[in-house]
Amino acid sequence: MSNKQFIFSSIALAVLLPFLAGAAPVIQHACGRAGQSLDGTWRAIVDPYENGYYNYRMQPMRTGDTFFADRHFYADPTKLVEYDFDAAGTLEVPGDWNTQREKLYYYEGTVWYRRLFDAQPKPGCRYFIHFDGANYETIAALNGEIIGKHTGGFTAFDFEVTKQLRAGQNSLIVKVDNKRHENGVPTINTDWWNYGGITRSVRLVEVPETFIRDYVVRLSADRKSVEGWIQLDGNAPEQQVSVEIPELNWRVSARTGADGRASFIVPLPRKSGIRLWCPEDPKCYEVVLAAGQDRVSDRIGFKTVSTSGSKILLNGQEIFLRGISIHDERPGAAAGRAFSAEHARTTLGWAKELGCNFVRLAHYPHNEEMVRMADEMGMLVWSEIPVYWTIAWDDPDTYANAENQLCEMIARDHNRASIIIWSVANETPRSPERLAFLGRLIDKTRALDPTRLVSAAMEKDETSPGQLTLVDELMYKTDLLSFNQYVGWYDGDADKCDRVVWTFPVEKPVILSELGGGAKYGRHGNVNERFTEEYLVRLYEKNISMMQRIPGLAGCTPWILKDFRSPRRALEGIQDDFNRKGLVSEKGEKKDAFYTLQNWYLSF
Ligand code: GCB
């Protein structure tokens, strides 16, 4: 492939603008870069009154009077220092604090983490501390100096530490605060556990002075070319860069401009033999990107997704989305936040066994292992930001926060073949302010990524008894008519499913983004008794036959794969702090309704 074939397209300006508009995006594929993992045992001080922070809030330059300074009482007890990380208890990272210490089960507030690590910084390299996620507000300091602040509990971010990193021992202090806020994203009220802490992996990343910060490598909409861009970061932005897919014998090289960016669209050879990514054949190719000293190797699948009338097309072929919703919680009695490839394999393994080709990762971006595992296992993905229920629609800070989380979600995962839908919200009560807010988020999503579908989980309306439809005007902006409905649980009994008629004012693919009800595993009784396995089986049977009568149905993601912790679920003996709408219990025991849905899915 010659340089001439490399097209610097001005269309790419559209993709470039978002990059210029905001902060630098997260380092693409940070876990595949040189450096060291900082996962493991960290010291932790619980600080509900923000004692260790007080002086910093008063005088931000004086970190010496705060816990960021990592001073010691025990080193010299004649000097008053009322904390000492060396003497503090420990928490494992990654991991939420709620399931690690009984006293922190309901805790919402600040915990200070400290990790000592050795480093040997090399001249000509830059260093970043990369967090895959920490809930909800993070402020970090390296060797007593603040390196950055981040808001949002479910997206990756990194702070540069080239100046602060020392040869020998380093002290990384991270203040994590999971207090809920009325104008936060999410807001105060949700139906999931507000797990706090450094819930996901942390890594010291080493890159050359000028490095490949971000890239997109994907199939063009006509499936005839591979297209994308590379974004360099550093003081030598104009460089020779290349992208290679060795297995396809496909290679391209070019020079980045003064903005550090190069875009390309290069046809695949006629007989490339490319295997398009799909659930039945989730082929990922090794893609190697190089720029000067920097080299990144990623595994990327190639596919397209689009709609035609009420159909969803994957690689141009109609596909029905046999889905299930999932929270980012790990399998096992203790529950808690998921973070590992093993958690992802088990959870997605259950979804596979259920007969799924699609998962809705609700209600916020899940950890990166999950989407990478979905790529490898062949599971289509709906990915969402936590714009949930009653957000402060007219607060500009709330909008900025939501948009930032949207950008961070897309930036981390825009090379994942599995992702077909970006969702901007879940069950948000209608109002003009909310319509404007979500409309802006949808426009932003399309500008950042024109290659995937954009939607939101809306709510159905009953315009007259038994007449079910959508009236939410957001449906004119989304690619899908996706909505949650609980006929047979919150809305009447299971028999109501037989009586209702569905119609829609516009022809688009219909996705039931939630349906279901609760049952405690092993609790048996009458079909009319809530929380019994019998009730849930019947509810699923009735919902399935109702769905078969829904015009334009293109898929569904019943709520939910696994019972998950929620402080809203107080019914003792049955709920015990768990939302019981799972088809498997938190321990992985399959409820009878699992097989009801499985029978339907396996009949396709
Ligand atoms: C919903 C929400 C979901 C809840 C679920 C429930 O509509 O979107 O977050 O957990 O209902 O169980 O009530």
Q: What number does CATH give the domain 307-602?
A: 3.20.20.80
Residue 483 CB–ligand 1 contact under 6 Å: no
Strand partners, 116: 171
Number of other CB atoms surrounding residue 467 within 10 Å: 12
Alpha helix ranges (H) inside 414-453 = 432-448
Please report which confidence band the pLDDT of residue 245 belongs to, taking 50, 70 and 90 as the band edges: very high
Mean of the pLDDT values across residues 165-175?
98
Distance 353 CA to ligand 1 centre (A): 23
Distance 48 CA to ligand 1 centre (A): 30
Residue 384 CB–ligand 1 contact under 6 Å: no
Taking the CA of residue 566 as reference, the ligand 1 atom at the shortest distance is 10
Strands 321-326 and 34-37: unpaired
| Sign of CA pseudo-dihedral 302, 306, 308, 310 | positive
Q: What is the pLDDT of residues 374-433, one digit of tens each?
A: 999 999 999 999 999 999 999 999 999 999 999 999 999 999 999 999 999 999 999 999
- Cis, peptide link before residue 551, omega less than 30° from 0: no
User: Would you call 227 helix, strand, or coil by DSSP?
Assistant: strand
Give pLDDT, residue 546.
Answer: 98
Number of other CB atoms surrounding residue 144 within 10 Å: 15
Half-sphere exposure of 171 (CA within 13 A, CB side): 18
Domain 40-93+95-199 and domain 307-602, same fold? Reply is no
| Residue appearing with tokens 């990327």 | 300
C-alpha to C-alpha distance for 568 and 543, rounded to whole angstroms: 25
CA 294 to chain centre: 27
C-alpha to C-alpha distance for 187 and 395, rounded to whole angstroms: 12
Give pLDDT, residue 77.
Answer: 87
Task: Tally the residues of the chain.
Answer: 604
C-alpha to C-alpha distance for 303 and 556, rounded to whole angstroms: 21
User: Would you call 115 helix, strand, or coil by DSSP?
Assistant: strand
- Residues contacting 143, CB < 8 A, separation 6+: 164, 165, 166, 170, 171
Taking the CA of residue 581 as reference, the ligand 1 atom at the shortest distance is 12
User: Would you call 410 helix, strand, or coil by DSSP?
Assistant: helix
Going across the sheet that includes 461-464, the strands are: 461-464, 467-469, 501-502
Residue 557 CB–ligand 1 contact under 6 Å: no
C-alpha to C-alpha distance for 145 and 488, rounded to whole angstroms: 56
Distance 191 CA to ligand 1 centre (A): 6
Mean of the pLDDT values across residues 582-594?
98
Q: Which residue type, as a one-letter code, is found at position 548?
A: Q
C-alpha to C-alpha distance for 598 and 243, rounded to whole angstroms: 42
C-alpha to C-alpha distance for 436 and 393, rounded to whole angstroms: 9
Q: Is the pLDDT of residue 4 over 90?
A: no
- Tokens coding 132: 């895959």
Q: Is the pLDDT of residue 17 over 90?
A: no
Distance 498 CA to ligand 1 centre (A): 23
Please report which confidence band the pLDDT of residue 18 belongs to, taking 50, 70 and 90 as the band edges: very low
Distance 27 CA to ligand 1 centre (A): 33
Give pLDDT, residue 373.
Answer: 98
Give pLDDT, residue 6.
Answer: 36
The helix (run of H) or strand (run of E) holding residue 14 is helix 12-21
Please report which confidence band the pLDDT of residue 181 belongs to, taking 50, 70 and 90 as the band edges: very high
Q: Is the distance from CB of 208 to CB of 237 less than 8 angstroms? A: no
Q: Is the distance from CB of 27 to CB of 34 less than 8 angstroms? A: no
Please report which confidence band the pLDDT of residue 61 belongs to, taking 50, 70 and 90 as the band edges: low
The helix (run of H) or strand (run of E) holding residue 172 is strand 168-177
Residue 563 CB–ligand 1 contact under 6 Å: no
Distance 192 CA to ligand 1 centre (A): 9
- CA distances to 98, 272, 359 from 280, rounded to whole Å, are 38, 20, 15
Distance 493 CA to ligand 1 centre (A): 17
Question: What is the percentage of the chain residues whose pLDDT exceeds 70?
Answer: 96
Residue 559 CB–ligand 1 contact under 6 Å: yes
C-alpha to C-alpha distance for 154 and 133, rounded to whole angstroms: 5
Q: Is the pLDDT of residue 8 over 50?
A: no
Q: Which residue's C-alpha comes closest to atom 10 of ligand 1? A: 191
Assigned fold of 7-20+209-302: Immunoglobulin-like (2.60.40)
Distance 339 CA to ligand 1 centre (A): 23
Please report which confidence band the pLDDT of residue 602 belongs to, taking 50, 70 and 90 as the band edges: very high
Q: Is the pLDDT of residue 20 over 60?
A: no
Give pLDDT, residue 11.
Answer: 33
DSSP state of 192: S
Q: For 238-387, list the strands marked E by DSSP.
A: 240-245, 250-255, 261-267, 285-291, 294-300, 305-308, 311-314, 317-318, 321-326, 358-361, 380-384
The helix (run of H) or strand (run of E) holding residue 343 is helix 341-353
Query: Mean pLDDT in the chain?
Result: 95
Residue 482 CB–ligand 1 contact under 6 Å: no
Taking the CA of residue 362 as reference, the ligand 1 atom at the shortest distance is 9
First to last CA, the chain: 43
For residue 215, report the phi and psi dihedrals to the nearest 5 degrees: -160, 155
- CA distances to 80, 102, 580 from 560, rounded to whole Å, are 52, 27, 9
| Sign of CA pseudo-dihedral 516, 517, 518, 523 | negative
Residue 190 CB–ligand 1 contact under 6 Å: no
Residue 426 CB–ligand 1 contact under 6 Å: yes
State the burial class of residue 288 (Cβ atoms within 10 Å of its Cβ: 0-12, 13-18, 19+). middle
Give pLDDT, residue 58.
Answer: 72
Residue 368 CB–ligand 1 contact under 6 Å: no
Domain ranges across the chain? 7-20+209-302, 40-93+95-199, 307-602
Mean of the pLDDT values across residues 272-290?
97
Q: Is the pLDDT of residue 2 over 70?
A: no
Please report which confidence band the pLDDT of residue 10 belongs to, taking 50, 70 and 90 as the band edges: very low
User: Ligand 1 pocket: which of 190, 484, 489, 514 to mutate (most atoms <8 Å of CB)?
Assistant: 514
C-alpha to C-alpha distance for 201 and 37, rounded to whole angstroms: 8
Mean of the pLDDT values across residues 182-197?
98
User: Ligand 1 pocket: which of 560, 579, 580, 583 to mutate (most atoms <8 Å of CB)?
Assistant: 579
User: Ligand 1 pocket: which of 559, 566, 571, 583 to mutate (most atoms <8 Å of CB)?
Assistant: 559
Mean of the pLDDT values across residues 495-516?
98
Q: Of the CATH numbers 3.30.365.10, 3.40.50.300, 2.60.120.260, 3.50.7.10, which one belongs to the domain with range 40-93+95-199?
A: 2.60.120.260
pTM over 0.75? The answer is: yes
| Residue appearing with tokens 């008519």 | 481
Q: Which residue's C-alpha comes closest to atom 4 of ligand 1? A: 191
- CA distances to 91, 180, 241, 596 from 500, rounded to whole Å, are 51, 39, 58, 21
Task: Annotate 32-53 with b (16+ C-beta within 10 A) or e (fewer).
Answer: ebebeebbeebbbbbbeebebb
Q: Is the pLDDT of residue 275 over 80?
A: yes
